[in-house]
Amino acid sequence: MDLYPSIDIRAGKVVRLYQGDYDQETVYGDDPIAVAKSYEAAGAPWVHVVDLDAARGDGSNRDLVVAVAGAVGTPVQVGGGQRDGSLLDAGVRRVVMGSVAVSDPELVERLAREYPGRVAIGMDHRDGEIMVRGWEQGSGVTLDDLVQRYAAAGAAAFVVTNIAGDGTLQGPDTAGLAKLVAATDVPVVASGGVGTLDDLRALAAIPGLAGAIVGKALYEGRFTVEEAVAACAA
């Protein structure tokens, strides 16, 4: 299982939200490039970046995201407001399509064909319902709906966030993730809730789980990137 240490960017700063709530933000720094370089130096196989302003539709950190991707040799995966392949053309290895995968599936399917292996589907959900627009709106679409549609469309991966656990450090939804991994051949990357190395070991024990995104636990010093990489390989 690969570790995806996360850099969530809002107004150019490194932040974390609690359960996706923009009013519950903690700022952890003002240099996303330095954070990405530290992840690379620690041996992370990926760097995961989220543009929170773009996700909400009230701004963009595109230039900074491109700079992050250009500053490291480690592959960079980017989510948050992605609606085209421009970041893929600018050096980002993989984009995560979230809201647009619900609102314009034909566009996402076309991009998956144009950029094989580089378009992942973001599945951010509350109790199985996909949430959109920075997690602030319900979609009426279920997790299973997206799995069925995009497994057939050539998705590179499913990035799955149980919003109830995101930013809480209370542990990941291992049961739900195990069920999803067993139901699809598309690689699944888990996101949300990791607070300890034992949480990572529990995820790594799910047969076939491809990766785990970790943010707040790293910022708060619960463990190091080196320790997390080792736990993912256990």
Taking a C-beta distance cutoff of 8 angstroms, is the pair 158, 147 a contact? yes
Residue of higher predicted confidence among 26 and 206: 206
Per residue in 110-155, pLDDT tens?
A: 999 999 999 999 998 988 899 887 667 888 899 999 999 999 999 9
Q: Which of 51, 53, 124, 166 is catalytic?
A: 124
Between β-strands 137-142 and 158-162, what pairing exists: parallel, antiparallel or unpaired?
Answer: unpaired
List beta partners, residue 48.
6, 77
Residue 141's contacts (CB-CB under 8 Å, 6 or more residues apart) are: 102, 129, 130
Which is catalytic among the residues 8, 51, 173, 199?
A: 8
Q: Is 28 helix (H, G, I), strand (E, B) or coil?
A: strand
Over residues 23-77, the pLDDT tens digits come to: 888 889 999 999 999 999 999 999 999 999 998 888 999 999 999 999 999 999 9
Tell me, yes or no, if 144 is annotated catalytic: no
8 is catalytic: yes
Q: Which fold has domain 2-232?
A: TIM Barrel (3.20.20)
pTM, to two decimals: 0.93
Domain ranges of the chain: 2-232
Q: What is the mean pLDDT of the chain?
A: 93
